[in-house]
Chains A and B, each alone.
Chain A
């Protein structure tokens, strides 16, 4: 052991290390400064950034011993220290105030690191340039070592520029006054506690032993080498994918737990497996799910319940959606044979996209008191988790408490009862001590789910004038590894109405990691096929792609968006497809999105007065989407006070809390807004509008309930009811393709969103901007890669799994159409998913407009661009008539 002195935020500390630790572990675990986050562990994302002598440093790669004798500043000490030497909560660096005012954050997990890097840049810039504003390129270069998965990059640009201009020098020390988000002040100071930050007295640390091979029969697990160990396999004793958890252990330290897990003696019999979907389809391929029971237990990547289906080996018929399907097939066949009409046929593929939440899946379980199970979980669903944990362990739900004060991103991957929850709970039950289990980045990027890859064939037939869509055929094979739940083709049937059409959806099972719901499950994949097909159709017909959609799309809300998009200067000035010959080619593309209106009508909110303050609470959570702020604003509107005067209690489900919605399926805001408004209105009536200590103890509760008029599907399944009407989005993107190096840059995106009334405009805009950033990732960079021979995930770090950077952010404009949802209480529906569906497809169409090449395989990496452009002449064979003006 080596001991050394260091000074952190002005306070002397002594650290004790064995020499291998990185600085981040010492800062978090020994000094208790949990504002510094560990995310990638590879110096890529910057969430662990600290200042050493004022220089930003990635503490995950900094040997702890390098802190010896240094002056360290962490986010807790950024604003300077108070007289006591302890970090002062009130004193903020101008950059922290700028992050609050410009809403430069969502989940907040990357925020402390970003703030540190940006503050150091600010201090240097101001010394050298005064209050001149740095341009976006300069900011992006300075902050190239930071990533934000939520994609709050537009806000970050604005914040850095504003702070450098000096706009936030004199905001005073009242962070609440400038904050767009009510939890912003906690997030920019590192005070916000996430599950990974929770430490309990006498706590053990858990670790998972995962399979290194893709299929196996597991025999005896020798638990004698571990103090506490849990077998995680089912009765069938089968491992079906490389990385699947087999067992969990607990020990006194995380590294000891990992060592014990690695050294568990496990009897493993390898079984045949299949990784390539084409091989998996062949007769005689090893069966991924060998019998009915295994098939019934297959994990799903769909949102909502999975219907029974027929299986043929590893091919599962996930669903057929016909509307005069035979006619559609007949028409397409005739068009192929006779050449009549205009027939567009594309074969496309997409790659698995990883959620890559910056807060890893994590759970702290405390079952030391057998009568009471307390869980801290990084989850999108505190209420649902409490319910499923009670069910899984056969205990009364009233004895379970689930806490998620802050959640560092979810994107759909933190909805179900994950292995980390089951393992930590079971380890705590056995050890009678609290147990903390946090996945590392390698585990996070291997086995916590993905948006499945796919192969698709689409046939779209129109008459030669494009007056009428005559037939639409969509065949989709989804590759969710051991998972199921393909709905991509079905979703394509809902947009362009009235024609004969037919969708076949299949799941091709392989021994790959399971897919899981990912923000708008299926939607962006549907758009990649459908929206490129209609774009190609417009190109062949020589018609304006927006005008063609206006003709075929009966959705009035999207109609308003088409009118808006058609008038955008970038659209009106778009080039003729494929006509450019220079090195850099610019192109503009459009794509539309269609999504459901989901709601949880059983959601309840209670608004009360406590200690003379307004308090609103429900068993929901805020994973960065802004639910806490939305609830605060709803109460504030009724009482005509500032949102910061309302205390919002989310992130807790126990015997005393009331039901709140899961943060998935775009349902949180639409389930909470009117219930909050109703409860607040009722309370106001009771107390006569004055909030004071005299009203302490009064409260009112309201339930969301149904909509006015008829509902589309008047039943609620798994907390979801499908409401009446489809939401819409239209994205117009401009790209620049470097035909030499194959790199595509997205220069500008206009996002039009039709979800009715927007309750928190800055936050809604940030969500829509983040959707575009994630769409850019899907379109250009992101691809989970498996080794074809072993099924091991090769892209299990943030260097090889490439998510968009600050410098990849286009200029973004978000436009809201707020009409059309009068039947919904509050006048608006959710936007988290509809906003994420069309960005990638609009980029695909823009690439075609720029180069004349139709990119069918995602992501459109430089290698694909180079290979495509070297195979085709620079002059297009069929220039579009009428495009451009």
Chain B
């Protein structure tokens, strides 16, 4: 039944099924292209959906909190997340798009969004991009689908060990919600009817240094060829006490660069360390015929954020 149900709580009324909509910045574009009219579950009236609450253990960000709010209000305590939020899409989109919607958006692959073709994510039985055009495709070839995950926010949340709260009270780690990206039919591991209600961040790091960089062809407002985010905590001796490096635009899920993080921990942020950590991010890269350029671009993009963190210029 086509129409709309306005939810006031995250618990779905029995028998109601449909497509969830928050800010609508992903769904409205797909409805327009596909000229489809599924039943819509509107989340914008859910209680507590847009609030940001802090306590000693961390911060709860309502799933309906806009990207602009995340960029503005979390810049002091979570600068890596805020910088990522502030650099995605355009000011108009950031003012409407939500943190939950950003996590749960569908792939931006040009085959997936084309009305006249089917892919593994739209009910087809093969990936037309793999043998077709995939200039913006993955570098880590771990799935039958070859288009990168679209969520910059997910990449940033990964390096915060963030969790999401689901309707019904349980919570799961962001890493778990994203999964390993191997299943080519899914953009995330949320089940039917599993609604995100909030993002849960651990307590901030005091004196976090952070940087985000999006490698693109134009000035701004473009899906990343490669993106990287980094947060670092230094000890009194100027050595890396803790760090997180996230990488996006390269795999069907955002990646956390554990090997590079291990190289940084205990070291100073000198040129050699930065070079070896950046190079470590390309380990196991298996570019597609058209994505070979992304291998040096990964190194360049990670180096960019590490150098900025070293210079403390977010």
Contact = CB atoms under 8 A, between A and B. Distances in A.
Interface in A58-91: 58, 60-63, 65-66
Contact of A792 (B24, B29, B116): B116
A140 B220 contact: yes
Interface stretch (A293-301, A430-438, A491-499, A781-789): A781-789
B3 A145 contact: no
B193 interface: no
21 contacts: A19-B3, A19-B40, A20-B4, A41-B29, A43-B92, A56-B92, A61-B93, A61-B96, A63-B28, A65-B6, A140-B219, A141-B91, A145-B93, A742-B215, A742-B293, A785-B110, A785-B133, A794-B111, A805-B220, A866-B296, A866-B297
A18 B90 contact: no
Contacts of A19: 2-4, 40, 42
Interface string B1-36: 011101000000000000001011100110111010
A44 B29 CA distance: 11
Contacts of A741: 215, 297, 300-301, 304
Contacts of B110: 785, 794-795, 800
Nearest to B223: A799
Question: Nearest 8 CB-CB pairs, A to B?
Answer: A807-B219, A19-B4, A145-B90, A863-B293, A212-B116, A740-B300, A58-B92, A794-B110
A144 interface: yes
A57 B132 contact: no
B2 A142 contact: no
Interface residues of B, number: 58
Contacts of A820: none
A796 B219 CA distance: 21
A43 B111 contact: no
Interface string A843-868: 00000000000000000011110110
A242 B220 CA distance: 32
A14 B113 CA distance: 33
Contacts of B128: 787, 789-790
A788 B114 CA distance: 15
Nearest to A19: B4
A49 B23 CA distance: 15
B135 interface: yes
Contacts of A255: 35, 37
A496 B4 CA distance: 67
A20 B290 CA distance: 37
Interface in A759-814: 780-781, 785-790, 792, 794-797, 799-800, 802, 804-808
A575 to B, nearest CB: 23
Given A58-B92, A61-B93, A145-B93, A796 B114 contact: yes
Nearest to A145: B90
Contacts of B3: 2, 18-19
Nearest to A116: B92
A788 B32 contact: no
B217 A743 contact: yes
Contact of B31 (A20, A43, A117, A145): A20
A22 B21 CA distance: 12
A148 to B, nearest CB: 14
B24 A806 contact: no
B117 A787 contact: yes
B96 A790 contact: no
Contact of B25 (A56, A61, A802, A861): A61
Contact of B96 (A44, A57, A143, A861): A57
Contacts of A806: 219
Given A61-B25, A862-B225, A799 B296 contact: no
Q: Is the interface of A mostly helix, strand, loop or mixed?
A: loop
B149 interface: no
Interface in B198-254: 215-223, 225
Given A66-B24, A792-B117, A802-B222, A56 B4 contact: no
B125 to A, nearest CB: 15
B266 interface: no
A863 B222 CA distance: 15
Contacts of B301: 741
A57 B32 CA distance: 18
Contacts of B219: 140, 144, 805-808
Contacts of B89: 43, 145
B303 interface: yes
Contacts of B218: 780-781, 802, 804-805, 807-808
Nearest to A141: B220
- Of the candidates B33, B92, B110, the one having the most CB atoms from chain A within 10 angstroms of its own CB is B92
Given A18-B37, A799-B223, 11 more contacts: A20-B2, A41-B33, A44-B90, A56-B91, A63-B42, A141-B220, A255-B37, A787-B128, A792-B114, A795-B110, A863-B294
A789 B132 contact: yes
A870 interface: yes
A823 interface: no
B171 interface: no
B132 A62 contact: no
Contacts of B108: 799
Contact of A743 (B33, B216, B290): B216
A442 B114 CA distance: 9
A233 interface: no
B223 to A, nearest CB: 7
Nearest to B86: A141
B152 to A, nearest CB: 15
Interface string B294-314: 101100110110000000000
A25 to B, nearest CB: 10
A714 to B, nearest CB: 47
Nearest to A254: B35
B184 interface: no
A262 interface: yes
Contacts of B23: 61
Contacts of A20: 2, 4, 31, 37, 40
B4 A65 contact: yes
B131 interface: yes
A46 B292 contact: no
A145 B91 contact: yes
Contacts of A785: 110, 133, 135
Contacts of B91: 56, 117, 141-145
Nearest to B4: A19
Interface in B97-115: 108, 110-111, 113-115
B259 interface: no
A354 to B, nearest CB: 14
A20 to B, nearest CB: 5
A57 B95 contact: yes
A145 B117 contact: no
Interface in A23-70: 41-44, 46, 49, 55-58, 60-63, 65-66
A258 interface: yes
B201 to A, nearest CB: 25
A329 interface: no
B76 to A, nearest CB: 19
Contacts of A787: 111, 117, 128, 132-133
